[in-house]
Amino acid sequence: MGKFIFKQTPTGFKFDLKNDEGATVATSEVYSTEAACKNGIESVRKCSGGEIENQTVEGYETKKHPKFEVYADKAGDFRYRLKAGNGQIVATGGVGYKTVGEVVAVAECVKAIAADAPIENA
């Protein structure tokens, strides 16, 4: 089922979405207020049904927002970012993956668990 872990940091508030095994599958930016962070969680819930746009494929099909953008970073690792309907990034995978298949599997996990994941305080 997964869960959102909400926590205060030295500079604000952030969340991580954990899968059933406890691995982080999505993470947020640091928000200045608790309310803004909780709104970020709601955005992830709302946007997690978006399609996956694989930007690593030449001539890839552009998907409508909200969407997961899969891309290669400068180091050659594969990552995703979840973008809201307005194009703003609401979550990322947090780490780079060695294959496109791995990062797509993580995005699919977010799609499967985010909408119903409960929120817990760290």
What's the whole-model pTM score?
0.94
Query: What pLDDT digit, counting tens, does each position of 13-33 carry?
Result: 999 999 999 999 999 999 999
Q: Which residues of 58-69 are buried (b: 16+ CB within 10 A; e: fewer)?
A: eeeeeeebbbbb
* pLDDT surpassing 90 at residue 1: no
Q: Domain containing 48: what range?
A: 3-121
Count of C-beta atoms within a 10 Å radius of residue 120: 12
pLDDT at 94: 86
Q: How do beta strands 67-72 and 119-121 pair?
A: unpaired
pLDDT at 116: 95
The total number of residues shown for the chain amounts to 122
- Please answer whether residues 16 and 2 qualify as being in contact, where contact means their C-beta atoms are separated by less than 8 angstroms: no
Using a pLDDT cut of 90, give the percent of the chain over it.
98
pLDDT at 122: 87
Residues linked to residue 72 through DSSP beta bridges, in sequence order: 78
Span 79-99, average pLDDT: 96
- Please answer whether residues 17 and 91 qualify as being in contact, where contact means their C-beta atoms are separated by less than 8 angstroms: yes
pLDDT tier at 8, thresholds 50, 70, 90: very high
Domains contained in the chain, number: 1
pLDDT at 21: 95
Residues linked to residue 13 through DSSP beta bridges, in sequence order: 8, 31
Measure the CA–CA gap between 20 and 93, rounded to whole angstroms: 16
* 74: CATH: 2.30.29.80
